[in-house]
A and B are shown apart, each in its own frame.
Chain A
Amino acid sequence: MKMDHHIGLTSTHHGSIKTRFTHRFLYALKNLNKNKKPISYHKVKIAAYSSMASAVGSTRTWSRVMLRRIRRRQLRRASSVIFRRTIRRAKCIKNNGAKHQKNKVVSRNDEEDEGISKLRELVPGGEIMEFSSLLDESAHYIKCLNMQVQIMRNIADLLSSV
């Protein structure tokens, strides 16, 4: 029944996030596999993440941020090596400065704040979010990660079992 429902739809539009993700991810794997070189796990990882984010769509902040980051990374890679290095250096400086400042701030619940800031780092786009929305996004993110892990594991099992 469900299949009938999906007739005529492209792979990007049908089904739940799960099916969308599997389609995208397998397609990405195929593309990676095209050039018969050994694939770096990093690429697979990025493929997994990007496919997950695009499966979720732009309704979620974390998916939007994730896609943006991935795209930016690709652009950077495309650009020259020197440019990349400068950016990296600038980033490092920035991060150090930020961390330094953070340490300076003394708060009542240091542990809690630490946890929150950690969570912010983990959830893409969480740095900007308000706490309640951060929790919201992280809940959704966790769900999606769960799904991603399951599907990837299944695919891996399927492929390796043969």
Chain B
Amino acid sequence: MDRENMFINEDNITIMPSFRMGRHNELHGTNNASHQMQNFLSTPLWNNSVDQNDPFKSALSSMASSPANSNAAAAPPPPGGCTNDNIVVRELIGRLGSIYNSGEVSPQSYMNGNNRTNNSCYNTPLNSPPKLNLSMIDHQIRENLPNLQFPGNHFPAQSSLTQLTTDPGFAERAARYSCFAETNLGGLSGHQIHGLNESELQQRMENKMDYSGKLSRVSSNQSLVKISGSQAINAQENTDGDQKFSRLSRSSTPKKPEFGDSCENSSVSEQNPGGETGLNGHLNSKKRKSSSKGKGKDVPSSNSTQETNAATEINELSAKRSKSDGNENEKDGKPKGDENATNNSAGSGNKKEGKDNQKSTEPPKDYIHVRARRGQATDAHSLAERVRREKISQRMKFLQDLVPGCNKVTGKTVMLDEIINYVQSLQRQVEFLSMKLATIDPRMDVNLEGLLSKEMFQSCESAPSSTYALNNSAATYPFLFQSQQVQNLSINGALCHNIQHPPVEINKENTSQAATFFEDDLQSMIFGKSQAHDSQGEMPTGQMKVEQ
């Protein structure tokens, strides 16, 4: 990281103009409700950012804020790659601008930004405008935000802001690179430019609007951590490669106390998506949940679009992270949320972060949403156990409906006994029936013939060999009774007399007759009698139920 940043700083300037233009155009093109924001973001801001950047050249490499920087960072070693990157960057910038407008501007985020000025790299150019401007923007944006409907931003302005500002996972998850949220924060506060990796910027840029909501969440985590004990976090970030960043953050720490309240609130609300006690209230939290769920799905899709390998890797990481976060939030955050929300401090945030880091593995896809009630255990084992019990009780109920006389019974053991008895009785019945059939079988031909002859007269269809012709009958099954009835009548008579051993002499007519026989007799047999229990239609549905 450091290397790249340094590298980039030197080369940046040449590329700048093109970036600027692209950014301008795209920003204007975006549908953002706040036009003023765009203006701010446009050139004047840029100038500011540049000025600010000068002191921190290394920081400039940070990414997005200075398009040139991003380009340079992307292609520092290979000089030829700059042009391609530029295009990508432009696109990204345009998206960012839209994202930016949608959710970024919140007082809280603003506040956080001031505290953490270090974080935002790419934002700095955009956000770089002086604080006064930011405040102005914030007000305007607040008004506009509710109206704006970006996929990611379901929450009221405050919640969105808080989310954006607080962003624990971002830097860590992205492994090296800060997410949008950070950038947003930095942009708002934007005095100092942090060099975030270009790849991150690109990824985030590429990530669509939906992503912003997720990112904001992640960002929120970071803010929490910072608020609580910024230095530890800084150390982590430093490991990532941004030493300067850490320094800046440290320097910013003194300001924290001022904004402490807002920061804490935001952090709390973000940390506990389930526990909505924070500023946002229940509605907001619910929305967040939905958004968090959306995260997991959206992230992977965004990955596909990514062009560079590094970017893809980072995204994957972030996606995993976000997934795990979402699940954890759902699992752990909800149950604990009520209790913790009010008391939430940086400490809890840190703990959660640790958890997130540990649980980087992807959650099972067929995750069954289980919500622990108050006082219930929330660890994975007990949750899984609860799911299992639920499944078992469901199936027990199904079995109860299936087994006659089991409805009135209560208690697992009794039910099991009933089920066992029923199965045994059925098996016994099968045995008995097979015995019966065995005794009948020898006379089967005769019986069948007689039966068929009898029924032929009634239904005009009979095949002495019906049972024998079963295989063939399938093909001829479809034949209609009515059309063949007349023919069958004539044929049947002959058959009855002539054919004693049908298996040997099965011809097409027989088969057809057999088929018809099937229809009539078997249907009457099988379905007529059993209709009460299960008709043909019922069986499959029952199966479906069972299979579910």
Contacts and interface: CB of A to CB of B under 8 A. Distances in A.
Interface in B421-442: 422-424, 426-427, 429-431, 433-442
Given A16-B536, A135-B399, A159 B437 contact: yes
Interface stretch (B90-98, B174-182, B298-306, B409-417): B409-417
Interface stretch (B203-211, B242-250, B307-315, B538-546): B538-546
Interface in A43-62: 43-45, 47-49, 59
- Binding site of A, secondary structure by majority: helix, strand, loop or mixed? helix
Nearest to B444: A33
Place the interface of chain A in its size category: 35 or more
A115 B494 CA distance: 58
A19 B536 contact: yes
A152 B430 contact: yes
A128 interface: no
Contacts of B433: 48, 149, 152-153, 156
A17 B434 CA distance: 19
Interface string A118-142: 1100110000000110011011111
Contacts, number: 214
B543 A140 contact: yes
B447 interface: yes
B392 A151 contact: no
B348 interface: no
A3 interface: yes
Nearest to A1: B478
A14 B434 contact: no
Contacts of A116: 416
B423 A29 contact: no
Contact of B529 (A3, A18, A150): A150
Contact of B438 (A12, A36, A41, A49): A41
Interface in B419-469: 419-420, 422-424, 426-427, 429-431, 433-442, 444-445, 447-448, 450-451, 454, 467-468
Given A18-B536, A22-B526, A43-B438, A139 B399 contact: yes
A138 B399 contact: yes
Contact of A40 (B395, B422, B438, B475): B438
B525 A154 contact: yes
B392 A131 contact: yes
A162 B547 contact: no
A22 B522 contact: yes
B340 interface: no
Contact of A23 (B396, B470, B543): B470
Interface in A72-106: none
A145 B423 contact: yes
A159 B478 contact: no
A14 B477 CA distance: 10
B533 A146 contact: yes
B480 A3 contact: yes
A49 B420 CA distance: 18
B434 A41 contact: yes
A39 B533 contact: no
Given A33-B444, A143-B546, A147-B534, A152 B434 contact: yes
Contacts of A11: 470-471, 473-475, 477
B493 interface: no
A16 B539 contact: yes
Contacts of B419: 119, 138, 142
Given A115-B420, A132-B392, A26 B437 contact: no
A158 B526 CA distance: 10
B172 to A, nearest CB: 38
Contacts of B422: 142
Contact of A145 (B430, B438, B478): B430
Nearest to A21: B526
A58 B35 CA distance: 63
Contacts of A49: 430
Interface string B507-543: 0000000000011011001100110011010011011
A2 B379 CA distance: 53
Contacts of B503: 30, 34
B479 interface: yes
B383 interface: no
A150 B533 contact: yes
A8 B478 CA distance: 9
Given A146-B534, A159-B451, A111 B413 contact: yes
Given A11-B471, A26-B467, A159-B448, A118 B420 contact: yes
B430 A136 contact: no
Given A27-B470, A115-B412, A142-B399, 16 more contacts: A4-B478, A11-B471, A16-B540, A18-B536, A23-B470, A23-B471, A23-B473, A34-B503, A44-B438, A112-B413, A139-B402, A140-B543, A140-B547, A143-B546, A154-B526, A159-B447
Interface of B: 388, 391-392, 395-396, 398-399, 402-403, 412-413, 416-417, 419-420, 422-424, 426-427, 429-431, 433-442, 444-445, 447-448, 450-451, 454, 467-468, 470-471, 473-475, 477-480, 503, 518-519, 521-522, 525-526, 529-530, 533-534, 536, 539-540, 542-543, 546-547
Nearest 3 Cβ contacts at the A-B interface: A11-B474, A115-B416, A154-B525
5 contacts: A4-B478, A7-B475, A48-B433, A139-B398, A142-B403
